[in-house]
Amino acid sequence: MRRSMLFLPGNTPNIIMNADVLGADSVILDLEDAVAPNQKDAARILVRNALKTMDFAGCEVIVRINPLSSGEWEADLEEIIPWGPDVIMPTKIGSSQDVQTISACISRIEEKHHMEVGHTKLMPLIETARGVENSFHIAEADPRVCAIFIGCEDLTADLCCERTKEGHEVFYARSRVVCAARAAGIDVYDTPFTDINDDEGLRKDSEFAKGLGFSGKACINPRQVDTVNAVFSPSEEAITYAKRVFQVIEEGKRMGRGAVALDGKMIDKPIVDRARRVLEMAELIQKKVTVHE
Amino acid sequence: MKITQRALAGTVESSDCMVMLLPAEELSIEIDSIVKQQYGHVIEKLVRDMLKKFDVTAGLVKIQDQGALDCVIEARVETALRRAGKEAKA
């Protein structure tokens, strides 16, 4: 479950050391844009030490590495992979070959350190027009790919258009990556909302993303986490309805009925699948609340 | 091995520490920390262990600590050592 993925700058100890209390389902320790070019070495050593010593209290740890064009990405992987991050987020991925190049490098490192090859998952960041158009091939490029993530700031620069709060300019790209991910059977995550002072705008943007089919959304500030978590959590009504779906199915079985209805609506497979997802997610959220209490 | 070139790593932000390496004929460590009274000896041991790992036998190491955790101090010392051209012993 990743309702929220919170970006944390990779060279800032006081933020990284509090990563597990910020409420996000996942944290993204960032070695890319949040780190000055002359501090890349310091950030990767700091993030490596954090992975070595912190347990992050059940919070998934994703490490965002530098792009293939940077000359930094291999050093990032060499330092980070041996310490078992849950997911690596490669940046500016434009094709399936990009994913395969990174995956091959990770396999070499896993083998060298006697780790299970394929253990480390990948969440490619799609933030170019080429990446959007190749998104299905990226999603299917390698068994390590567990999800794809769209980043609309760099994307709008590549599209030669202005980034707006309304986001009409990225509607096609968002829809395209959702469709690509779902066709490949993996999760898909939405770009952050960059105005950290506009909570209402964040809520609307998150609801819109959820409506398109995104699994969750990235956050760039801890203040955004609660809103994003709330939007991507099933509502009380949805949980009640999902429970009723399974009650009606059980009753139908007992009475030997082949088909059942709820509130005048036939219960078919998509409704059952959705109800199952809602209840699974509600259970995961309950577990997380219990752990933090 | 001696520290032969100056190197700097870290910041003076809260929970971080700044490490400065300077050439010197003997090994010495200067610690300035907001928690020196309680943890000065722990910080010094961490630094000495890192220097040993990198086979450094001479040089001046200045630590300006702002309440950094052990793993942060180790990261900043390692970064400074690498910037000074040192590699950990195999």
Q: Are residues A217 and A82 in the same domain?
A: yes
Tell if the CB–CB gap between B78 and A45 is shorter than 8 Å.
Answer: yes
Which residue segment(s) compose the domain that B27 sits in? 7-83
Tell if the CB–CB gap between B70 and A53 is shorter than 8 Å.
Answer: yes
Tell if the CB–CB gap between A52 and B71 is shorter than 8 Å.
Answer: yes
Q: Which residue has the higher pLDDT, B1 or A81?
A: A81
Q: Are residues A137 and A270 in the same domain?
A: no
Q: Are residues A260 and A178 in the same domain?
A: no
> Tell me: the pLDDT tens digits for A131-166?
999 999 999 999 999 999 999 999 999 999 999 999
> Tell me: the pLDDT tens digits for A252-293?
888 887 788 888 888 888 899 999 999 999 998 888 777 666
Q: Among the three residues A232, A259, A282, which one is the final residue of a domain in this structure?
A: A232
Q: Are residues A242 and A116 in the same domain?
A: no
What pLDDT score was predicted for residue A291?
65
Q: Among the three residues A232, A254, A270, which one is the final residue of a domain in this structure?
A: A232
Average pLDDT score over chain A: 94
What pLDDT score was predicted for residue A226?
95
> Tell me: the pLDDT tens digits for A46-60?
999 999 999 888 899
Q: Are residues A218 and A288 in the same domain?
A: no
A235 DSSP assignment: P
A158: number of Cβ within 10 Å: 17
Choosing among B34, B74, B79, B86, which should be mutated to test the A contact, i.e. which has the most A CBs within 10 A?
B79
Residue type, B33: S
Tell if the CB–CB gap between A13 and B72 is shorter than 8 Å.
Answer: yes
Tell me how far apart the alpha carbons of residues B60 and A72 are, in angstroms, rounded to a whole number.
30
ipTM value greater than 0.90: yes
Considering only the beta carbons, identify the residue of B68, B69, B79 that sits closest to A45.
B79
Q: Are residues A149 and A74 in the same domain?
A: yes
Give the number of domains in chain A: 2
What pLDDT score was predicted for residue A57?
83
Distance from CA of B7 to the nearest CA of A (A): 12
What pLDDT score was predicted for residue B87?
80
What pLDDT score was predicted for residue B1?
84
Tell me how far apart the alpha carbons of residues A101 and A191 are, in angstroms, rounded to a whole number.
24
Which residue segment(s) compose the domain that A73 sits in? 4-232
CATH of residue A81's domain is 3.20.20.60
Question: Nearest CA to B12 among B80, B77, B68?
Answer: B68
Kindly list the residues from chain A whose CB atom is less than 8 angstroms away from the CB atom of residue B20.
none
B34 — contact with chain A (CB < 8 Å)? Answer: no
Give the number of domains in chain B: 1
Q: Are residues A73 and A211 in the same domain?
A: yes
Question: Nearest CA to A63 among A71, A53, A50?
Answer: A50
Tell me how far apart the alpha carbons of residues A174 and A209 are, in angstroms, rounded to a whole number.
8
> Tell me: the pLDDT tens digits for A195-229?
999 999 999 999 999 999 999 999 999 999 999 99
Radius of gyration from C-alpha coordinates of chain A:
20
